[in-house]
Amino acid sequence: MFKKLFASSTSACFELENTSPYYSPSSYSVLLDGKVAGVFDTNVFSLYNLEPDSEYEVTVAGKTLKFKTLAETAVIDVKACGAKGDGVTDDTACVQKAIDSCPAGGRVLFGEGVYHVRPLDLKSNITLELKKGAEILGEEREDKYPVIPARDKNNELEILATWEGEPFDCFKSLIHGYKCENIAIIGEGTINGNADQSTWWDKPKGRLIARPRLVFLNKCKTVRMHGVTCKNSASWNLHPFFSKNIRCYDLKIENPYTAPNTDGLDPESCDDVKIIGCKFSVGDDCCAIKSGKLYMGKTFKTPASNHTLRNNLFQDGHGAIVLGSEMGGGVRDLTVCQCLFRHTDRGLRIKCRRGRGKDAIIDGVVFENIKMENVITPLVINMYYNCDPDGNTEYVWTRSKNMIVDDRTPYLGKFVFKDILCEDCECMAGYFDGLTEQPIKEVVIENVCFSFKDDARAYEPAMLQGVDAYCKAGLYVDNVETLVLKNVTFEGVLGEKIIRKHLGKVIES
């Protein structure tokens, strides 16, 4: 069986209903109105070049589903507005004219070509379609990017720009959306930040003005991104911020592994987010769920809530799925399932520390039906994360028993890791390190198998002060109130399967 995830006026996305992570058990043909539309090997597949306001029949393995594309009011071709698409001419004004002139319910069309542009502004109730062979190519010179101030000068609580969880002046993102509703970016084309041809990556830290994102969506509602490839971002690729009802389907997000801070997709203080069928290969965390540092959490009290990540491929990043470290508003009701991790440093990674605040509550988190291949350390919960200038202060790293729970103390509740196969690990199976004054409440590991590479090397399992390097270790558990182990197996572990430090109740079966 399969189901429709999304339909625009010219494209549609579908998902097979099985339990295989990301890839289907075997390749399959898709028929569109009885004719072969393609052969696929992933659980999520897409169809393009459809006609608006039209009915279709899709058949897979003898099962047929009917669907209808959306109607639209107009099509505005950027070339009809003067864009050259030759990769050299500055097409910014012409493309922006096409966006601004597009009526509600209309589509802005990028045909085959390379559209060299400076930052563009989105508006509500339109669709951008990048046809196959179309590329939005970012301006490579930093001085051509305007600066967005951190705050509205007339309203200090209106955050306009942000960097790593705090209000911060930023260069404007290549695609910029502010308080937009009902927007879509679809197609088989590419949004290329062009940072590999610029100076953005030369000085990643210590800037007075933060690097731009590829796509920044500030306080937007009902956003659909489908099919496009996002690559070579100056910093994070996709950054929805205080936004709602976000859907990302069948995206390809690509940055070199060496590109600094080029996270794939980082929804921050967003509600109702679904990321399905996407492929990540980036230079930092593939997907990081965030909710700001102390000021943002304390002031706005807006958690990352109701997120689902399913049938995705995460590879070559630092962490596959990450919570934090900017999690001052908390993370709640997160489900990650049916995903494949390959060649990431860490798999499922939760990182926070003292100073994130009492609103920094992570709870209701489930990770299930996941396969990891050659992930150095599959499971990590680290409450002493040492990144940022203040990350190595004694306040962060101390394990003194005199520490107390106060307004700066984060809380980690229950985490469920279920039906997970981890092959060719190197460092250790899992690292769980809670605060002395506020331990991790409960960790459940059920139907999970860990096996190690024969030639595994030693690594540090997490980023914190004073951590040891390990090779082929089991589960390290410190300051966890309850550890539940059900049908957990280890192959190739050297030494103890559970390295117990300050561990409360253990339930094994």
Positions annotated as catalytic residues are: 284, 318
Q: How would DSSP label each residue in 91-158? A: -HHHHHHHHHHPPTTEEEEE-SEEEEES-EE--TTEEEEE-TTEEEEE---GGGSPEEPSEETTEEEE
Q: How many CB atoms lie within 10 A of CB 507?
A: 11
Phi, psi angle pair for 299, to nearest 5°? -80, -45
Residue 155 CA: distances (Å) to CA of 158, 179, 306:
6, 16, 29
For residue 451, what are its two tokens? 């096996």
Task: Tell me the longest C-alpha to C-alpha distance in the chain.
Answer: 71
Please name the helix (run of DSSP H) or strand (run of DSSP E) that holds residue 332, with its range, or none: strand 331-342
Structure tokens at 41: 């090997």
Q: What is the C-alpha separation between 176 and 120, in angstroms, rounded?
A: 6
Query: Of the candidates 447, 416, 407, 423, which has an alpha carbon nearest to the alpha carbon of residue 348?
Result: 416
CB under 8 Å to 247, separation ≥6 — which residues?
5, 6, 223, 224, 225, 226, 273, 274, 276
